[in-house]
Structure 1
Amino acid sequence: MNTKKLSLSLAFFSLTLLLSACRSVEETTADKKDAQEEVLASEQVMHLTVESELATTDSVLVAENITFAGVNQFIEGLYRLDENNEPIPALAESEDISEDGLTYTFHLRDDATWSNGEPVTAHDFVFSWRRNVDPTSGAAYAYLFEDIKHASDIMAEKLPLEELGVKALDDSTLEVTLETPIAYFPSLMSFVSFFPQNEAFVKDTGDQYGTNSETTLTNGPFLLSEWDNGLDESWTYEKNPTYWDADNVHLTKITNQVIKEVSTGVNLFEKGTVDNALLSGEYAKQFQKDPSYTVEYFSRTNYLEVNQTDNPYLKNESLRKALALAVDREELTSIILNNGSLPITGLVPDHFVKNPESGTEFAEEAGEFYTYDLPEAQKLVEEAKAELGVETIELELLGDDDETSKRVMEYLQGELQNNLDGIEIKLLNIPFNARLAKAAAGDFDLISSGWSGYVSDPIIMLDVLYSTSSYNNGGYSNKKVDQLIDDAKGIHANEPLLRWKDMLEAHQIAVDDAALIPLYQKGEAMLRNPKIKGIHINSVGARYSYKNTYIIE
């Protein structure tokens, strides 16, 4: 099967290079046309506020959203995501895919260079990916490489790094061999962990690599400057004159300033000092009708995990469903959170992924499950108490100790205790890392948690329902769900419609089982300068791309 034919069979996942390339050209042309019809500002400098410092610029070690977004501006991989979360070619000028979907051959463009003048080669990807699976490297997202041939055995120290299924056939040809077909593989290639690294530079800088501007090598639309990890709460991206697509990069500079107080950000925005400001609470209410107000969505579902392994009460399906139906998600998102987050009754978020044939969002096709239904919740809790032979059920709700988490948990405590007779909820707020440790150990009754999609594919969300998943902290297990997930990853990996049906059915069964209790899809209310155009804002991955951004008068 040739590349075009296979790509078309996987159209939903935008695996067709031809279509992606055409789309890229069309978007670039559209951006340029917009820029020509509008009057460009004489100064193409954008001033951003961010919530926290850059942690590192070593793509192997990046582990949180602010740094993902940062690195995405000055380092580039095989693909990047467009504003619809779909992959478009970046360093990969073309690709070939084997008939069985197990071998990808990427042909790299020959005009991409590092900021030290050296060419970007296939060897840079081999080196970076081997670092990711090296068990001594501390790679933050090593598990994303598990489907590459021999990766799991290498991470388990059963095979040497050289056995990883990635080869540089020559300087411009990269061959990747998978253990199993991955329908969203090109999308995955846009993720920061898969970015290349220059071996000589990394080894020369040693443990200082990625700790400041001087020890960071870049190849993207911008260069990093004025940054020293641990010292700077501001830094700058400057246009990279040697970037292969520099003609389509309009901004000459982007300044970044860490602002942790909402009030400070709003004040700076109103003075015209910065071009964006995060909103929450009363500020979100105040600015909802302002032309600068916008909501940016994350492909993240926040939910309660329920311990179905150790807690005898939560093994009861009627009780789990009663808890799920007793929460008014509209009130939770509009009053308690009031930050652009959306109520959600299933696991897969909206603004995320669409049916390959109809174009309908997965969340819409899946339908609603646990809308607020107090009479049904009260009926089910009485059934649960009768089945369990108790009059009172005490549960501990565990969560983070930040202000937003505390507000959400206090609201949930009130909803469950006030709406359901005999239910008593004790709250325990602990630091983020401690909460993660308790979750991994299964040391909880109910725990406030969530999951984000790093590419636009339902399987990313459904993985937390797999019985042996390390992220299935509640111990949910359903053989049919496991089989459907296996089918979507295996026998139907190259058949988009059958794969879609597998995932819909797995989702239906698991949510019907009340495998977990969905609460809301994360959103961010934001003030953003309306004169700034062309920002690609993704609900997945690194979130922001400023490559095609420009400013009008």
Structure 2
Amino acid sequence: MKLSYKLAASIGAALLLTACSGNGDSSSSTSTESASSTSVNPEGQVVHYTAPTELATMDTTLITDNNSANYLGHVIEGLLRIDEEGDPVPAIAAEEGVISEDGLTYTYKLREDAVWSNGDPVTAHDFVYGIQKLVNPDTGASYSYLAETIINANEIMSGEKDANELGVTADGDYEITFNLTQPTPYFEFLLSFTAFFPQNQAFVEEQGEQYGTSSDAIIANGPFVLENWDGTGLTWDLVKNEDYYAADDVALDTINVQVIKETSTAVNLFEGGQVDNAHLTGEMVKQYTGDENVVVQKKARTAYLEFNWDNEYLKNAKLREALGLVINANDLVNTVLGDGSTEIGGFLPADFVTNPATGTDFAEEAGTFLSYDIQRAQELWEEAKTELGVDTLTLSLVGDDDEKNKKISQYVQGQVQNNLPGITLDLRNVPKKNRLALADSRDFDILQTGWGADFADAINFMDLLYSGSSYNEGGYTNTDFDALIDLAKTTNANDDEKRWNDLQQAHKVLTDDFAFIPLYQEAETQLRNPAVKGIILHPVGVEFDLSRASVED
């Protein structure tokens, strides 16, 4: 399956400055000139940037949210990176890898001029150590499942084998080989993803449990070094890494970042020339319609509601369907959000991957399974009450505490309580770091969450609800769904058409189960300073790249 370039083109046409993403969370991109604007950077090559939420961690094996991954991608570099055309290309790897004809062996030579910011060379051993840590069950890495096709990975994750038996080997200091159990069409995309980045073993072990929890507990091998982050604060800096092997290509000296969750605050700072971007939502988007500094970035990201399947009431399919039918997607995206986000009919975003035989978009082929229908929702709720033996029901809805997500929570609450008499929806909007912890501990009834593509393949979304997935926070289980995912990963892994059909059928199982409630496909509207040039955006994985950006007066 290939990534659709329609999405990439829409991003390229709109780009003026940087982008920023929400959770939980992927191509092509470019930058354009704009009308005049006064630079807020008289002190030199400095960008003042606003982020929507805090950093959760800088440990490559523990990151689960896009915001943290976006900044980590500026600090640590992997074997490969995603280029402007959306393809994996060498980064710490010195050249393209050698892939065996059967697709089971990948070998890369590393560049010998890459060093960590403490002076240590970046070696193949750093990659072996990082990926062994990823699959080690003691780490508790949510992304460990991505390594499942590496030899012995599943046995290590289940505790049957030692991490040092993983099929990743260093052949000296500057060559690394990956041995797989089966062909994995998207494997090079994985090698460009943060979970597969290297870790300096001596430094990590010296830091112990503190590794990745502050700027003092992380070292860099990428274009920037992280500074002035205490692990919980709302500000941090990315400072040019003079030891980066391509430091001569990095123009920016500093990126000052501050978290601003209130739209009006960010806009006031932007208008006052104190920051280079501001996220717009709701009425603020309408106020700035036509402004020369407004840009819209469409993302390969689905926002949805996830159920806790331990809740005996939510096991009732009629209740789940009724909850979905009271969400007016058109009203949500146009009235509540108004930021360019669009309606979504299923689990996968539009313009993401296409049928290898027909070129049809996955989302288009899958169709829409829930349409706003209050009358039908109320009929189903009456039937569910009889089946459950209740007249009233209280459920918790857990979501992030930024302005946008609070508005969404309040909208969902209003739609449910106003249209399904007897149901009370208690809102719990908390900082993202706390929301991720509540999700991990399954401390919710309904979770307001989302997923941005990490790599350009439908399996990246479908894996989320596989029964054994660490991202299956609600505990959804369906043996038919699991069997289809297994087929797509094994028997049909090298047959594009059969694999596509497996994934489409698996999606139908999810929709027949009303296993989730789709909310919208995310887009982001920002005010951006056109004086900052050369930003690269990606719909998947690390979403923005400032490493070759510059400020022009």
TM-score interval, normalised by the smaller of the two chains:
0.7 to 0.9
1:236 partnered with 2:208: no
Aligned pairs for 1:114-133 within 5 A: 114-133=116-135
Q: Aligned with 2:520: secondary structure? A: strand
Aligned pairs for 1:315-330 within 5 A: 315-317=316-318, 319-330=319-330
The alpha-carbon deviation at position 390 of structure 1 amounts to 7.4
Which residue of the partner structure matches residue 6 of structure 1? none
Structure 1 residues 551 and 365, CA, compared in 2 at 3 Å: closer, same or farther?
farther
The alpha-carbon deviation at position 323 of structure 1 amounts to 3.5
The alpha-carbon deviation at position 504 of structure 1 amounts to 1.9
The alpha-carbon deviation at position 254 of structure 1 amounts to 2.5
Which residue of the partner structure matches residue 275 of structure 2? 274
1:191 partnered with 2:197: no
The alpha-carbon deviation at position 76 of structure 1 amounts to 0.5
Aligned pairs for 1:4-403 within 5 A: 43-83=44-84, 85-92=86-93, 93-137=95-139, 139=141, 141-203=143-205, 209-210=211-212, 216-229=218-231, 233-238=235-240, 240-306=241-307, 311=312, 314-317=315-318, 319-356=319-356, 359-374=359-374, 377=377, 384=383, 388=387, 394=393, 396-400=395-399, 402=401
- Residues in 1 aligned to 2:390 and 2:75: alpha-carbon distance in whole angstroms: 60
Number of equivalences = 520
- Residues in 1 aligned to 2:100 and 2:267: alpha-carbon distance in whole angstroms: 52
Structure 1 residues 204 and 184, CA, compared in 2 at 3 Å: closer, same or farther?
same
- Residues in 2 aligned to 1:444 and 1:232: alpha-carbon distance in whole angstroms: 26
Structure 1 residues 31 and 342, CA, compared in 2 at 3 Å: closer, same or farther?
closer
* CA RMSD after TM alignment: 3.8
Offset from partner CA, 1:373-410 (integer Å, 9 cap, x none): 4455456567x469849795746253237365554344
The alpha-carbon deviation at position 299 of structure 1 amounts to 3.5
The alpha-carbon deviation at position 329 of structure 1 amounts to 0.8
User: What amino acid does structure 2 have at the position aligned with 1:544?
Assistant: F
The alpha-carbon deviation at position 72 of structure 1 amounts to 0.9
Offset from partner CA, 1:158-203 (integer Å, 9 cap, x none): 3323112210012221111234433222112222221112334444
The alpha-carbon deviation at position 361 of structure 1 amounts to 3.5
- Residues in 1 aligned to 2:309 and 2:226: alpha-carbon distance in whole angstroms: 48
Which residue of the partner structure matches residue 463 of structure 2? 463
- Residues in 1 aligned to 2:153 and 2:169: alpha-carbon distance in whole angstroms: 13
Q: Aligned with 2:352: secondary structure? A: coil
Q: Aligned with 2:353: secondary structure? A: coil
Q: Aligned with 1:243: secondary structure? A: coil
- Residues in 2 aligned to 1:180 and 1:199: alpha-carbon distance in whole angstroms: 29
- Residues in 2 aligned to 1:126 and 1:394: alpha-carbon distance in whole angstroms: 50
1:536 partnered with 2:533: no
User: What amino acid does structure 2 have at the position aligned with 1:454?
Assistant: D
- Residues in 2 aligned to 1:211 and 1:465: alpha-carbon distance in whole angstroms: 29
CA contact (8 A) 1:12 1:355 kept: no
Structure 1 residues 394 and 91, CA, compared in 2 at 3 Å: closer, same or farther?
same
User: What amino acid does structure 1 have at the position aligned with 2:316?
Assistant: K
The alpha-carbon deviation at position 204 of structure 1 amounts to 5.0
- Residues in 2 aligned to 1:159 and 1:308: alpha-carbon distance in whole angstroms: 31
Q: Aligned with 1:111: secondary structure? A: coil
Q: Aligned with 1:484: secondary structure? A: helix
Larger radius of gyration: 1
The alpha-carbon deviation at position 475 of structure 1 amounts to 5.5
Which residue of the partner structure matches residue 412 of structure 1? 412
User: What amino acid does structure 1 have at the position aligned with 2:252?
Assistant: L
Which stretch shows the higher mean deviation, 218-227 or 510-519?
Answer: 218-227
- Residues in 2 aligned to 1:256 and 1:310: alpha-carbon distance in whole angstroms: 40
User: What amino acid does structure 2 have at the position aligned with 1:128?
Assistant: G
Q: Aligned with 1:158: secondary structure? A: coil
The alpha-carbon deviation at position 531 of structure 1 amounts to 2.9
Structure 1 residues 46 and 417, CA, compared in 2 at 3 Å: closer, same or farther?
closer
Aligned pairs for 1:440-459 within 5 A: 446-459=446-459
The alpha-carbon deviation at position 486 of structure 1 amounts to 1.3
TM-score, normalised via structure 1 length? 0.80
Structure 2: tracts of 5 or more residues without a match: 6-28, 34-38
Q: Aligned with 2:121: secondary structure? A: coil
Q: Aligned with 2:526: secondary structure? A: strand
- Residues in 2 aligned to 1:361 and 1:349: alpha-carbon distance in whole angstroms: 9
- Residues in 2 aligned to 1:371 and 1:520: alpha-carbon distance in whole angstroms: 13
- Residues in 2 aligned to 1:210 and 1:434: alpha-carbon distance in whole angstroms: 17
User: What amino acid does structure 2 have at the position aligned with 1:279?
Assistant: L
Structure 1 residues 443 and 134, CA, compared in 2 at 3 Å: closer, same or farther?
closer
Which stretch shows the higher mean deviation, 99-108 or 136-145?
Answer: 136-145
Structure 1: tracts of 5 or more residues without a match: 1-9, 15-29, 35-39
CA contact (8 A) 2:30 2:84 kept: no
The alpha-carbon deviation at position 103 of structure 1 amounts to 2.4
CA contact (8 A) 1:13 1:183 kept: no
- Residues in 1 aligned to 2:226 and 2:468: alpha-carbon distance in whole angstroms: 41
